[in-house]
Structure 1
Amino acid sequence: MTIILMLIFTTSIFAQNLIVLNKSENNAMIFDLRSDKLLAKIPTGEAPHEVAISPDKKFAIITNYGTRENPGNTLTLINLERLTVEKTINLENYRRPHGVAWIDNDKVIITAEANKSIVIVDVKTGETLKSIQTEQDISHMLVLSKDVKKCFVANIASGSVSVIDLKDSKLLTNIPTGKGSEGIDITPDGNEIWVTNRAEDSVAVVDAKNFKVKKKIKVDGFPIRVKISSDGKFAVVSCARAGEIAIIDAKSKTLIKRIKTAEKSDIETSGRLFGSTFGDSPVPIGIAFADKNLVYVANSNADIISIIDIENGKIIKTIKTGKEPDGIAIW
């Protein structure tokens, strides 16, 4: 009996699940990664874009961005133990919520594109606690410093990264990073901020202490997201136009390889964010690491998640999703 209980306990510790946002279906899918079984399909607000898992792994918070015609202004809080909607949080006048991260188990920080701001929200009460202006256009994605004292925000139209002091609630500086700065991540040691510049096909590496760009890496194909492995060895960049992920040695800042994320897409592109802009590309966007070498990639114009071993450069398998998967997370 003791052995059986230990096995169950061990399995529960290492069990991993995947949440996928289908932004053209207004729902979230949750999969058991041990079996790839669909556990639940949960309704969200209109056009859910990004998702983050709480530190205690009990909740997922989703930003409902809205459409071109109808800007969104809500967050969906999902109870990951019950697999149900815990609540919908109305942000009132804060519109087009997009990037999101948890500050602690009670508070999240989001970008509000239409307001050129980041907003801190108490998810338990639904109260907006404060907002801080970036003074930049299309403040899209964000990442927190390791000590959670600063927030770094990628601003697409301004081609910059805003540095915000969360303790004093003020903008410290805006760093010019490149045309179309969109995807953003921080290295495990907290020393570097990596930013994808989709309009100039580059990735900027920013020193997180002096706020200077220390390196630019050429990455063709509309680099749109970047994620860094837990060991700090690799940076993975999704290239929406090329239909590939680029694998970069995070230490030497050199491109190692490029890997196709799916076959050419023949899915109807009408009603999707990028439509036919990228031709028959599967349009890889969202990235999540399962471990230091295994990445999950959302292909928005192929309606699949590709599971890729970045060491051997091979697609291990795919998971069918709803229409236009984008934001994903693993816990």
Structure 2
Amino acid sequence: MSKAGGKCALGLAVALAVILATSGGCRRPRGTAYEGYAFVAAAGSSSLAVVDLASFSVVRQIRLHSRPAQVLSDPDRGALYVMSEGGPAGLSVIDAARLELKRSMWLAEKPVRVRLAAGSQRLYALDGKAQLLKALDLEKMAVGGEVRLGAPPVDFDLSPDARWAAVSLASGEVAVVNLAEWKTTAAIRVGGEPGAVAVRFDGRQAFVANRKDRNIAVIDLAAGRLLAYLPLDARPEALRFKPDGGELFVSGGDANVVVIVSAYRDEIDQPMLAGAEPRDIAITRDNRLLFVANSAANTVTVMNIDERRVLASVPVGEEPHRVALTPDDQYALVLNRKSGDVAVIRTAALPRGRDWLQPLFTMIPVGSEPVDLAIQPR
């Protein structure tokens, strides 16, 4: 090659490098660190693993006095609340700044589920053995009210203003509780085996998964009456509203699908195919992406909500059953119950058009049988 030709080739190479560097080509921006922690409850280890989401490493293992079942984040108080399977340490309070156990206390004879009321100082809990819904005053750490339910509770949800609670019962009913007066205003028969409950964002209606009858029961909370049954071709498991509140997503555990329900028109859209035994669901804050943990397939299905299509099926660990997104939507964290780890998926690496990068970012061992997690900023 002549000197002139060599200079020309070199010039073209430099120009191409500059174009790729300035345009980004097919490359995606690197993920930035999320300054916060994931607190992972490991039932088999009776511990709470603290995962630093900037370094993606476990920085602390907090020992608990009994097997944990659920974790709630309370950033306003700089605390987390861990519900266990019962006993004198049924509720553990974690100091989120010091990353240590602050106190443990009795919560219920058989704790089933806990929820925090937004903007309130109350934590609400179901007691399966005593058949109670009760409130715990978080300032006084004392019971602030309770109501007897008449049957073992399964799940519940609160209206955003904490005026109403809808509680699914093993008797096949849903109890509607007025939390201002602490009384049950209605007990509505919905069918066999009611499960998950989700209250609409305006607080007017509750949606209840009926696993045996394979439908969703819609309940008017103020009127205390059944409005409709929405038939499904699947056993409903998890219920998740989009952040804008317009649609409810239902994982169909035995049909390998996700069913989309219109929250205001009581209509059902065409189901979207997921993986084997879909369980938990997470949705990005921009209402664009849906993540489904498929417990029997060891995968997470990622869907574009607007286009109603699958973007990716991401292999994760063994028996994924819980998925959560960091508040900036950069990472999806997937709990793998059998393999005892957390899979981290980078949302920016998911396919868009012809682009494709490996979305599984890393795997983090957290302890035996992880069951729940909560994400909280530093």
TM-score using structure 2 length:
0.65
Conserved? CA contact 1:299–1:325, under 8 Å: no
TM-aligned CA deviation for residue 73 of structure 1: 6.4
Report the counterpart of residue 63 of structure 1 in structure 2. 83
Change (3 A) 1:42 1:293: farther
Contact 2:166/2:199 (8 A) holds in 1: no
Q: Which residue of 1 aligns with 2:18?
A: none
Q: Which amino acid aligns with 2:310?
A: G
1:309 is aligned to 2:286: no
1:134-213 map, 5 Å: 134-136=149-151, 138-155=152-169, 157-213=170-226
Deviations, residues 215-235 of structure 1 (Å, cap 9, x unaligned)? 222234432221111211221
Q: 1:109 maps to which residue?
A: 124
Residue 240 in 1 paired to residue 240 in 2?
no
Aligned length: 291
CA separation in 2, counterparts of 1:249 and 1:35? 39
Output the CA distance in 1 between the equivalents of 2:184 and 2:50: 36
How many Å apart are 1:185 and its aligned residue? 0.9
Q: Which runs of 5+ in 2 are unaligned?
A: 1-31, 317-333, 341-367
Contact preservation (8 Å) 2:207, 2:217: yes
Contact residue 287 and residue 328 of structure 1 kept, 8 A: no
Change in CA separation of 1:260 and 1:81 when aligned onto 2, cut-off 3 Å: farther
1:256 aligns with 2:256: no
Does residue 72 of structure 2 align to residue 75 of structure 1?
Answer: no
Alpha carbons of structure 1 residues 246 and 78: separation in structure 2 relative to 1, 3 Å: farther
Q: What code does the residue aligned with 1:257 have?
A: P
| Corresponding position: 1:84 with 2:100 | yes
Q: Matched residues in 1 for 2:140 and 2:110: separation?
A: 21
> Which amino acid in the other structure matches residue 230 of structure 1?
P
One-letter amino acid of the counterpart of residue 62, structure 1: V
* Whole-Å separation in 2 of the counterparts to 1:204 and 1:113: 22
SS of aligned partner of 2:94: strand
Conserved in 2, the CA contact under 8 Å of 1:17 and 1:330? yes
Aligned equivalents of 1:298, 1:290: Cα separation in 2: 15
Please list the CA deviations of residues 61-84 of structure 1 after superposition, one character each: whole Å capped at 9, or x if unmatched.
222135xxxx78601223333333
1:178 to partner: Cα distance: 2.5
Q: Is the 8 A contact 2:303 2:310 kept in 1?
A: yes
Given residue 90 of structure 2, which amino acid in structure 1 is its aligned partner?
T
Percent identity for Structure 1 against Structure 2: 21
SS in 1 for 2:90: strand
CA contact (8 A) 2:78 2:97 kept: yes
Higher-Rg structure is 2
CA contact (8 A) 2:165 2:178 kept: yes
Describe the shift of the 1:310–1:95 C-alpha distance in structure 2 as closer, same or farther (beyond 3 A): farther
Aligned to 1:8: none
SS in 2 for 1:56: helix
Given that 2:274 and 2:294 are in contact with CA atoms closer than 8 Å, whether structure 1 keeps it comes out as no
Deviation at 1:320, TM superposition (A): 5.3
The 8 Å contact of residues 69 and 82 in structure 2, kept in 1 or not, is answered as yes
* 1:278 aligned partner: none
Check 1:26–1:158 CA distance in 2 against 1; reply closer, same or farther (3 A cut).
Answer: same
Q: Which has the higher mean CA deviation after the structures are superposed, 219-228 or 139-148?
A: 219-228
Question: Is 1:53 the counterpart of 2:73 in the alignment?
Answer: yes
Change (3 A) 1:122 1:240: same
1:122/1:106 CA distance change after superposition, 3 Å: same
> Cα distance, 1:172 vs. partner?
1.2
Distance 1:169 1:320, change over 3 A: closer
Give how far 1:315 is off.
Answer: 4.3
Q: In the TM superposition, what is the alpha-carbon distance from 1:182 to its structure 2 partner?
A: 1.2
Q: Which residue of 2 aligns with 1:98?
A: 112
Contact 1:235 1:250 in 2 (8 A): yes
For 1:7, the equivalent position in structure 2 comes to: none
TM-score, normalised by the number of residues in structure 1: 0.73
How far is the alpha carbon of 1:310 from its aligned partner?
4.7
Letter of the aligned partner of 1:308 in structure 2? V
